[in-house]
Amino acid sequence: MSLEAKNLIGYQAVAGKGAGIQAVDPATDERLAPVYHEVSDADFDRALDLAQTAFLQYRELSDAARAQFLDSIAAEIEADSEAIIQRAMQETALPHARLQGECARTCNQLRLFAAVVRQGAYRDIRRDEAMPQRQPPRPDIRYRKIGLGPVAVFGASNFPLAFSVAGGDTASALAAGCPVVVKAHNAHPGTSEYVGRAVQRAAQRCGMPEGVFALLYGEGNRIGEKLVGHPHIKAVGFTGSRAGGLALLKLAQARPEPIPVYAEMSSINPVYLMPDALATQAEALGRALVAAMTMGAGQFCTSPGVVFAAAGAGFDAFTAAARAALAVQTAQTMLTPAIARAFEQGIQNLAAHAQLLAAGEASGGIHSCRARLFVVEGDVFAGNEALRQEVFGSAAVIVCCRDFAQMQMLTEQLEGQLTAAVHATADDDVGQLKSLLSQLERKAGRIVFNGFGTGVEVCGAMVHGGPFPATSDSRSTSVGATAIDRFLRPVCYQDVPADILPEAF
């Protein structure tokens, strides 16, 4: 199957007419055919009208029908997986094995939401039976959740499959009964088209209402802004930069009818090395930190960016091990030239306030990420907000803390985080650990013991969210079964006759 470079609207593929969009292979700077063109205003309007019309039918479908659609998307992606992965490799420079895993994860995620829909608990059905004898009589009241309406999805460059066209936002919105209009990410337009076609085929094969899904291309921000401002759109899913997320949030709030924005944005994912863990596992922790921070060139929203370690036994062994491990790390090509430039700028910002402890191998290649580790005293960290800013890529700052009290004081300064990781042994102080856990609950969406937050399991109990600016809405998660809640609202039915009530009751 070859790429056609078209917008996907309803069951059609529609050539754009506006500015051209072309992917770049970040490993070679080579422009990749074909050239996509921005969707015309008329086709944009048609896509949105179709989404609204589809919503009226799609929301009324049985749970079984929606679940089948989600399963079918997974099957269609799997059928094309090698073409998808090959194109994604070119567009992102991510390795085959990684993309293969991400593709499997994406399909698992679609099937998880199919299971969630079949199971039905997402509707949170409640009932208070009538009490006709009570004074005043109590009516019969039933409660359920229904879909919000068409959802705009903006994919991320760092997960071209799992957080893009058919990623978690799309899967959970479709599960909730909401049509989805995706703005294709300009860093992987071809991957987006392949996946979008898989969704389109699944919709057609399952007899879904036309308009349940659309994939639109646009240069710059114009189409994205139009999308968030369109009256048919009732919620927005976004994964990306803080600036990008905040811009969408502002647009959504300025609408005559404000709508929720679920933007997953910025996190430095603090790591805590407790005294006994540091004293007894210094070398292993040093190596594990380097493995976690260099995974995928650190291009994970959950990549560890700051490490709080107690001064004292093991600290020097830990930093020595990390330095040695980092020194032999090969530089990896980053997702886009712009991300590589921003990384080097971020490194300069850290270097202005902290001491460079170690660097990975330099690379002869372009747009590559040379990993860096910094070290700084707790007092210096306290006084420099720049050290608390996310640097997207393999960069971390080790903070040498005077004592546990300082570790907690520095933690209090942190903004909201996606994850926090604590390394401790059975001999570390339980009282301190409980106190730290209680503090981290207020700061992060997920707390990991004796590991790192880099891996995000797709399962029922996952939280991939957290207080601002980790996300724009701390009440939500973008991964895991409860991600569906983001696109639902409650309705109640008072004394509605049985033959009129929705079938769900």
How far apart are alpha carbons 290 and 306 in whole angstroms?
Answer: 12
- Which candidate in 38, 91, 193, 264 is catalytic? 264
Candidate list 126, 207, 345, 362; residue touching a second copy; CB under 8 A? 126
Options 25-33, 89-97, 334-342, 465-473: segment touching a second copy (CB under 8 A):
465-473
Whose Cβ is closer to a second copy: residue 216's or residue 248's?
248
Work out whether 492 is an interface residue with a second copy (CB under 8 A).
yes
Work out whether 496 is an interface residue with a second copy (CB under 8 A).
yes
CA dihedral 145, 149, 152, 153 (to 10 degrees): 30
Candidate list 8, 469, 478, 484; residue touching a second copy; CB under 8 A? 469
Work out whether 291 is an interface residue with a second copy (CB under 8 A).
no
CA dihedral 341, 91, 303, 482 (to 10 degrees): 130
Max CA distance (Å), the chain: 83
Q: Tell me the closest approach of the beta carbon of residue 437 to a second copy, in angstroms.
A: 6
Options 161-169, 250-258, 327-335, 379-387: segment touching a second copy (CB under 8 A):
250-258
Candidate list 284, 386, 491, 504; residue touching a second copy; CB under 8 A? 491
Work out whether 495 is an interface residue with a second copy (CB under 8 A).
yes
Whose Cβ is closer to a second copy: residue 249's or residue 331's?
249
Candidate list 168, 224, 275, 465; residue touching a second copy; CB under 8 A? 465
Candidate list 218, 240, 260, 360; residue touching a second copy; CB under 8 A? 260
Candidate list 83, 104, 141, 320; residue touching a second copy; CB under 8 A? 141
97 — alpha (psi -120 to 50), left (phi > 0) or beta? Answer: alpha
Whose Cβ is closer to a second copy: residue 136's or residue 364's?
136
For residue 264, indicate whether it is catalytic. Answer: yes
Whose Cβ is closer to a second copy: residue 211's or residue 445's?
445
Which three-class secondary structure state does DSSP give residue 164? coil
Measured in whole angstroms, how far is the alpha carbon of residue 363 from the centre of its chain? 29
Partners of 24 in the β-ladder: 31
Candidate list 39, 54, 88, 148; residue touching a second copy; CB under 8 A? 148
Residue window 400-439: x/- pattern of binding to a second copy, with contact defined by CB under 8 A: ---------------xx---------x---x--xx--xx-
Asked whether the beta carbons of 380 and 364 are under 8 A apart, the reply is no
Contacts of 236 (CB under 8 A, 6+ apart): 151, 152, 153, 154, 228, 248, 252, 259, 260, 261, 262, 263
- Which of 318, 325, 327, 326 shows the shortest CA–CA distance to 283? 318
Q: How many CB atoms lie within 10 A of CB 361?
A: 13
Whose Cβ is closer to a second copy: residue 166's or residue 444's?
444
Q: Tell me the closest approach of the beta carbon of residue 416 to a second copy, in angstroms.
A: 8
Q: Tell me the closest approach of the beta carbon of residue 252 to a second copy, in angstroms.
A: 10
Whose Cβ is closer to a second copy: residue 55's or residue 69's?
55
Asked whether the beta carbons of 92 and 160 are under 8 A apart, the reply is yes
Q: Tell me the closest approach of the beta carbon of residue 111 to a second copy, in angstroms.
A: 15
- Which of 45, 66, 265 shows the shortest CA–CA distance to 147? 66
- Which of 353, 375, 363 shows the shortest CA–CA distance to 297? 363
Contacts of 145 (CB under 8 A, 6+ apart): 122, 123, 124, 485, 488, 489, 490, 491
Work out whether 128 is an interface residue with a second copy (CB under 8 A).
yes
Q: Tell me the closest approach of the beta carbon of residue 9 to a second copy, in angstroms.
A: 23
Question: Which phi and psi angles does 414 have, rounded to 5°?
Answer: -70, 150
Candidate list 20, 258, 341, 356; residue touching a second copy; CB under 8 A? 258
How far apart are alpha carbons 266 and 346 in whole angstroms?
Answer: 14
Whose Cβ is closer to a second copy: residue 147's or residue 305's?
147
Asked whether the beta carbons of 93 and 28 are under 8 A apart, the reply is no
- Which candidate in 301, 369, 400, 401 is catalytic? 301
495 — alpha (psi -120 to 50), left (phi > 0) or beta? Answer: left
Task: Enumerate residues 52-111 that contact a second copy by CB under 8 A.
Answer: 56, 60
Whose Cβ is closer to a second copy: residue 113's or residue 217's?
113
Work out whether 132 is an interface residue with a second copy (CB under 8 A).
no
For residue 459, indicate whether it is catalytic. Answer: no
Task: Enumerate residues 434-463 that contact a second copy by CB under 8 A.
Answer: 434, 437-438, 441-442, 444-451, 453, 455, 457, 459-463
Whose Cβ is closer to a second copy: residue 1's or residue 426's?
426
**What does the H/E/C string look like for 197-220?**
HHHHHHHHHCCCCCCCEEEECCCC
Strands 306-310 and 368-369, how do they pair?
Answer: unpaired
- Which of 394, 222, 411 shows the shortest CA–CA distance to 298? 394
Whose Cβ is closer to a second copy: residue 370's or residue 446's?
446
Work out whether 257 is an interface residue with a second copy (CB under 8 A).
yes
Work out whether 26 is an interface residue with a second copy (CB under 8 A).
no
Look-up: residue for tokens 């659609």?
69
Strands 180-183 and 151-154, how do they pair?
Answer: parallel
Candidate list 2, 97, 133, 136; residue touching a second copy; CB under 8 A? 136
Helix (H) or strand (E) holding 400: strand 395-401
Work out whether 17 is an interface residue with a second copy (CB under 8 A).
no
Q: Tell me the closest approach of the beta carbon of residue 288 to a second copy, in angstroms.
A: 14
Task: Enumerate residues 166-225 that contact a second copy by CB under 8 A.
Answer: none
Catalytic residue numbers, as ranges: 264, 301
